[in-house]
Amino acid sequence: MKKIMMRAWEIVKNAIAQFGGKAREYMKEALRMAWAEAKGTAKQSREDIIEALTKKFGRWTKKGSNDKVYDRIYFNGTDLGMEVSYYRSGNISSAAVDGESISNCEARRIMGSKAYFDLTDNTLHMDSTMERHFGTKITAAVAALLA
């Protein structure tokens, strides 16, 4: 227990030196990090998860009121490997998922469907269309980050 507290204070001191502020602002997260190191299961921080998923797949959104805060990373088809070409009118001329041709109607369904990772409770939510085409890819990426 003493080693964990000493390590937490070390983390706090480094954070203050690097970012400024007060010790009480950093202590909660520092204790989590120290416990994770002691257990040998140091998981990625929330910021690391956000950065890794948004760099590769989608966009991060955080908004809400006092009752409910929406903190999510959204995935879209074009970031997951769907290729779409358009006519000048804006209609889809052709579409493919991972090199396999799909109908224009299915491409519109994918573009209109939703898939997101909720950071407040670490759960993954997908529409059936997204799950059919990209379910394994999204699930594998999220599972790799949370492992």
Residues 66, 113 within the same domain: yes
Q: Note whether 75 and 96 are same-domain residues.
A: yes
Are residues 59 and 116 located together in one domain of the fold?
yes
Q: Which domain holds residue 17?
A: 2-39
The long-range contacts involving 76-80, CB below 8 angstroms and separated by at least 24 positions, are: 76/111, 76/115, 77/107, 77/110, 77/111, 77/113, 77/130, 77/133, 77/134, 78/111, 80/133, 80/134, 80/137, 80/138
50 and 113 co-located in one domain:
yes
List the structure tokens of 4. 């964990």
CA–CA distance, 108 with 26 (Å, rounded to integer): 46
Per-residue pLDDT of the chain (147 residues; tens, 9 = 90+): 788 888 888 888 888 888 788 888 888 888 888 887 777 654 566 777 777 777 777 778 777 776 677 888 888 888 788 899 999 999 999 999 888 999 999 999 998 888 888 888 888 899 888 888 888 888 887 887 776
